[in-house]
Structure 1
Amino acid sequence: IGVLPDGTPIPSIFEIAKITGYTIGLTVTCRVTHATRASVYRHVTNRDDEVTLAKQLAESGTVDVIFGGGWDMFVPTAQGGRRTDGLNLIELMKSKGYEYITTVEQLSTVQSSKVLGLFAKGHLDSVSNRSSAQPTLDVMTKKAIELLSKDGKPFMLMVEGSQIDWESHSNDFYGVWKEVVEFDNAVKVALEFAAKDGNTLVIVTGDHETGGLSLSKGGYTINVEQARKAKGTTQMFLSQFNIADKEKFIAGLKDWYGISITDSEYENLRKIPSNNLRRELARFVSEKVGFGWTTFDHTAAPVPVYAFGPGAHYFTGFMDNTDIPKIIMQLTKLSTISFPEIKSTGSGY
């Protein structure tokens, strides 16, 4: 993340903006040290080196407002975390002026300009199964914009619907639907601010497509109303129904998804190894309802880019994904010329 093949660290657009006076925010529904969001602030040769990324995040001060999950990467194993170096990075960040919050109630009232909000030990729960004890993405986004904009400084905020990709890897139409709706609600918050502010650019895109999702799986119909009545993801379903109990399992599929299955279909599902059952069942259910999938992995399908606000007209047609930060830098007149040399702060270089 953020390094050349030889390990040379390369500054991100967020780091460059920080040096020139911007405030920076990060709002996600996974661990704040997970790959995509970590690219905002730091540099490692292995994306899974999250304990180093947490250390870099704490020491750099690049990100002013941080909302998401993953406090386990910030504290020692003796305190329930994953750190073996004995460091408590939460205490370090508090000493650097960050207010540390962990609850929805604290999120609603916090007014500090530097905030570390970690609302789960690991990732936040999927929105399909998230309790009111964890915030939704739109709520975090609204608070982040409020805090970043209150002093009148320019700001950059990265908001990610982190688990859209994960539900797509599982080919779970219900999970994807709910995660996209949550992300859409967050986009609405950003658009409302930008429309009122008049000087804020909102860009919405993705790094790749996952699953090869199609509506109606090549045909002409999709059972929309049946899909709307679904009661949860297949992960949630399997937590309540044991496939070994044939009668209850089949009745559960009818109740949760409105689908009927034959004895042979049931036996085929029974033969699937338990570690693959969730995604195979999700694909099976999707096809019954009318959704098609081509893979459990990423695809090469182009992803859309939407933009609203000053300079939005530059984001048209097909472009390389690396053109997006270049256009942003042109619009904001940012430059890498004056960016200081990046110093190593962890073992991930």
Structure 2
Amino acid sequence: MNSSFKKVGKVIIAASLLISSFASVASAAEEKGSAKNVILMIPDGMGISYLTATRIFKGEELSFERYMKGLMKTYSSDTNVTDSAAAGTAMATGFKTNNGMISVTPDGKQPDSILDAARERGKSTGLIATSRITHATPAVFTAHDPSRGNEVALATDYINKVDVILGGGRDMFLNEKDGGKQPERNLVAEAQAAGYDYITNRSELNKVSSNKVLGLFAMSDLKYEIDRDEQNVPSLSEMTELAVDVLSKNEKGFFLMVEGSQIDWSGHANDPVATITDMLAFEDAVDVALDFAKKDGNTLVVIVGDHETGGINIGNTPGGYKENIDVLKKATGSANAVRDALKAQALSINIADAKLVDNNYYMPIREVTAKMNGQLTYNKEDFSADVMWNNVKFQLKLREKQVVVGSEAKAADFFIENSTAYFNLGQIAELMGTQVAYGTTKDKPQETKAYFVQVKKAVEPIVGFELNDDNVKSLTNVNWDDRFQLANEVGTVMSAHALISWGSRHHTGEELPLYAYGKGAYEFVGLIDNIDLPRIISYLMGVELFENEEQFMQKLEERRNQ
């Protein structure tokens, strides 16, 4: 036989043996109850392209990517594009439901969750989120309600059912008289009476001594990682470390769910900076879980999202076959931070009395000057007005319809009505060396405002790159009093510079990558449904949430080996 053929034959045999060896490892059924502890980590909204973008930004693979096992389907009972409530319900209870429902099936049943089953077996339990802890994903593991919006009611199902509760949403636990939203009860006081350590600040993490902790680090949601108050608010990894330390004291084991909530919110905002930095913060939290699992030897760590958000693409049409994600590395804040800086640096005035003509606002020049704390001197003889704001000075010549700045004269954009000169606010902004944007509140025209601000001066130090004229125009053409519109437009600008595009501001319906490490990790190989997730976990933990778990696992085994 030719020696080259012999070499090829040896390579084929070696490859076959390697594949056969992997298949035997992958197909080896783990013993029931072999996972003493389970840490389920949910990067809410994370799809494949989130990982790609973060990997490019970081310059190397994320630490958990090497533990890739399979894919998970995400559809809900009533749609192929799920929300977090329906997806979380499936992942927690093993039952599909309609979008918006918290661990309640379409026919009204209220199935127990994998967390409930762990508690019933004497294991400790924990929930962590960077949203309000009563938000959809954490809520499905401990509460039941036909509507995810009933967070005040959902909050009443946490104390004494979950041992470690960490995240935002203090308002959902406090009584109304204390600034909270509970009409009758003070759930914080009830938790303290039940033996929970109650903490509200990062500095208090090391003061925890109880085996129960209620940590609420903001009245509402926590902020994106890049905007986090590092002195007072713990990171997701720090919360995970505290939870593992407390829960691992139980010799019977524990179940812990950790959600990177803001990954999803950054997707809704199409904010690539927030997306990547929250992904990196989630990776840090996963590292905490993996370090514990590697030392413990009896722990399973599962990492999988509940759905994808935003339909992010690495590349866009103007960029062709390119990306420019490195441009985001100099950013110091999210799109929300840019929005807040723009409004903080702007001079705002009420323009309820303005006249809207051809999409331009016009106001009496005297009124504008007064609202901007300027000075106006009217000269009857030559039908003109001298105007001064801070260091800006110009003369409005009404007869000649000119604006004179120094020795330069240009056409003035105004009209006279009932002996009153209405001046274009856009031209006023130009004379001031600023841009003008407008804010309106639905059904409240009396609250309409004009915002005068130097857009580049406010934005560029945060985003870390230079804006072009089109960027400035797009940022001033949205409603500044809509808390989402302005931030969303900032995200669009940042994405354009990074040559990233998005397909949606909502969820999308594709399968998600699933990663697992530790006891039973290979039971997740292949394509599974989200309702399979708690069934596999229940079997591996031995908590028997479902009937006929052995038969279910056998069917999974057979499907993988057909």
Residue aligned with 2:127, SS: strand
Identity %: 39
- Comparing 266-275 with 131-140, which one deviates more in the overlay? 266-275
Aligned twin of 1:62: 161
Deviation at 1:250, TM superposition (A): 3.0
Conserved? CA contact 2:124–2:250, under 8 Å? no
Counterpart of 2:286 (choices 187, 196, 203) is 187
Q: Which residue of 2 aligns with 1:207?
A: 306
After superposition, residues 140-219 of structure 1 pair within 5 angstroms as: 140-217=239-316, 219=320
Contact 2:471 2:493 survives alignment (8 Å): no
Letter in 1 for 2:505: F
The aligned residue for residue 182 of structure 2 is 83
Shift of the alpha carbon at 1:56?
1.7
> CA separation of 1:235/1:333 partners in 2, compared to 1, >3 Å: closer, same or farther?
same
Determine the C-alpha separation between the residues in 1 that align with 2:499 and 2:458.
19
> 1-side partners of 2:332 and 2:538: how far apart?
44
Match of 1:96 in 2: 194
The answer on whether the counterparts of 1:101 and 1:107 sit within 8 Å (CA) in structure 2 is yes
Shift of 1:253: 4.4
Greater RCO, 1 or 2 (C-alpha within 8 Å, sep 6+): 2
Deviations for 1:248-279, whole angstroms, at most 9, x for unmatched residues? 313444443313313x5533442222321211
Matched, 1:231 2:332: yes
Structure 2 residues without counterparts, runs of 5 or longer: 1-101, 347-428, 436-452, 548-562
After superposition, the Cα gap between the structure-2 partners of 1:111 and 1:291, relative to the gap in structure 1 and judged at 3 Å, is same
The C-alpha deviation readout for 1:68-105, integer Å capped at 9, x for no partner, is 12121112111110112x21111112222222122222
For residues 261 and 116 of structure 1, the distance between their equivalents in structure 2, rounded to whole angstroms, comes to 47
SS of the counterpart of 1:56?
coil
Please state whether the residue corresponding to 1:157 is helix, strand or coil: strand
Label 1:269 to 1:69 Cα distance change in 2 as closer, same or farther (>3 A): closer
Letter in 2 for 1:232: G
Does the 8 A contact of 1:257 with 1:285 survive in 2? no
SS at match of 2:490: helix
Are residues 1:285 and 2:494 paired? yes
Segment drifting more, 184-193 vs 252-261: 252-261
* 2:510 alignment counterpart: 301
The answer on whether the counterparts of 2:338 and 2:490 sit within 8 Å (CA) in structure 1 is no
Alignment partner of 1:266 is 2:472? yes
Give the letter aligned to residue 248 of structure 1.
Answer: Q
Question: Which residue is equivalent to 2:554?
Answer: none
- Matched to 1:261, the amino acid is N
Map of 1:19 onto structure 2: 120
Which residue in the other structure is 1:241 paired with? Answer: 342
Give me the whole-angstrom Cα distance separating, in 1, the residues matched to 2:268 and 2:216.
Answer: 25
Letter in 1 for 2:203: E
Please report the RMSD computed on the Cα atoms of aligned residues, expressed in angstroms: 1.9
Give the match for residue 341 of structure 1. none
Measure the CA separation in 2 of the matches of 1:71 and 1:239. Answer: 23
Opposite residue 149 of structure 2, the aligned amino acid is D
Give the TM-score of the pair, scaled to structure 1.
Answer: 0.90
Deviation (angstroms), 1:331: 1.4
Which residue identity is paired with 1:319?
Answer: I
Secondary structure of the residue aligned to 1:100 is strand
Question: What is the aligned partner in structure 2 of residue 332 from structure 1?
Answer: 541
8 Å contact 1:259–1:289 — kept in the other structure? no
1:135 maps to 234
| 325-334 or 217-226, which deviates more | 217-226
CA distance in 2, matches of 1:337, 1:298: 30
Distance 2:134 2:475 in 1: 36
Cα separation, 2, equivalents of 1:268 and 1:192: 46
Correspondence for 2:146 among 45, 61, 76: 45
Aligned-pair CA distance for 1:151: 3.1
What's the offset of the Cα at 1:241?
Answer: 2.5
The residue type equivalent to 2:135 in the other structure is H
Q: Which has the larger radius of gyration?
A: 2
The answer to whether 1:310 aligns with 2:519 is yes
**Quick one: which amino acid aligns to residue 235 of structure 1?**
N
Kept in 1: contact 2:538–2:545 (CA 8 A): no
- Partner of 2:223 in structure 1? 125
